[in-house]
Structure 1
Amino acid sequence: MTKNIIQFQKGLSLPKFLEKYGMEEQCYSALFHLRWPDGFICPECGNKTYCKIKSRKVYQCHRCHRQTSLTSGTIFAATKVPLTKW
């Protein structure tokens, strides 16, 4: 029987995966850098300066004051499941 190349492809081992994405803060940081690789950019006006509102987990643009969550517009939008479970 031939070896299934999909099943045996190289990737992260479980311990390495958990080391990289095991905590909620690590998942948020990874998603932030994937979504905004050059830093936060407001989807409304394109401004790059923002503040983080920790109580609601949103980013607020300094120019137009639009509040954007990290997960809005992604497959994680409106989910109650923690990112560590995804």
Structure 2
Amino acid sequence: MFGRKRGKAAPVEPAGAPPGGHPGRRALREVAQLRQRVDELEAAVTENMRLNRRVADVTDLVVEVLLPPEQRDEERIRRLLADYDRRV
């Protein structure tokens, strides 16, 4: 209401305490939170890379299977299937 953002209320500081607590503790807490966030993002990137590789493998296989029979490379299809099975 009237310009105030909704969400979490700011913590109430004890009288005479610097805003946000001790600056050193606050900085350490922020660094720890950022490290945790970086770890989470790295895990998400790794998972995305793994999923993208699986999509690429399946796409290669589907493209090969959709070719007319006289244009298919059956040996390549067997290799693609074996590689996919090994990774899954």
Higher RCO by CA contacts (8 Å cutoff, separation 6 or greater): 1
TM-score, normalised to structure 1's length?
Answer: 0.26
Which one has the bigger helix percentage? 2
Which one has the bigger strand percentage? 1
Choose 1 or 2 for highest CA Rg: 2
TM-score, normalised to structure 2's length?
Answer: 0.25
